[in-house]
Amino acid sequence: MKKVIMLQPSEWVIMEKLWECNPKTIMQLYHELKENPGWSKSTVNTLLRRMVQKEIIFYEEGAKAKQYYPKVSRDDAAITETESLLDRVYKGSVSMMLNTLIRNNNLTNDDIRELYAILEKASQGKDEQ
């Protein structure tokens, strides 16, 4: 059974950096995050330590510093977040979520075409089962 991990907003920030390119050291992460969102080295270090404890990331000892890697894929994190949003806000209803987006005119014509293609592909997959 796959372990489900919910990422906190600060964890998403670090994970985005690690998904982009890994491994990274604490100093590399600190230099990338000191301006935006404005974190200190100790904040980055604390977050990394907690994320290792939660088994979201792992490290290997490098020649001079620990090398941090993501342990959770972007897709797995996105699926967990999406399912959580659907359950919390829309009671698990994809159609309720889409209706909300449509009512608020948040979908472009490109979005609508893409949704049609996704639904067509999903429908074909169901027909083959």
The answer on 52 and 15 residing in a single domain is yes
Average pLDDT over residues 66-77: 95
CATH code, domain with 11: 1.10.10.10
What total of structural domains would you count in the chain? 2
The answer on 115 and 59 residing in a single domain is no
The answer on 81 and 63 residing in a single domain is yes
Res. 10: pLDDT tops 60: yes
Confidence of residue 127 (pLDDT cuts 50, 70, 90): low
The answer on 2 and 23 residing in a single domain is yes
Query: What are the beta bridge partners of residue 69?
Result: 58
Residue 97 belongs to domain spanning: 93-129
pTM attached to this predicted model: 0.80
- Judge contact between 18 and 24, C-beta under 8 A: yes
Q: Which of 20-34, 46-60, 77-91 has the lowest mean pLDDT?
A: 77-91
Cβ-proximal residues to 92 (8 Å cutoff; 6+ apart), any chain? 86
The answer on 51 and 101 residing in a single domain is no
pLDDT number for residue 54: 94
Cα gap 20→13, rounded to integer Å: 11
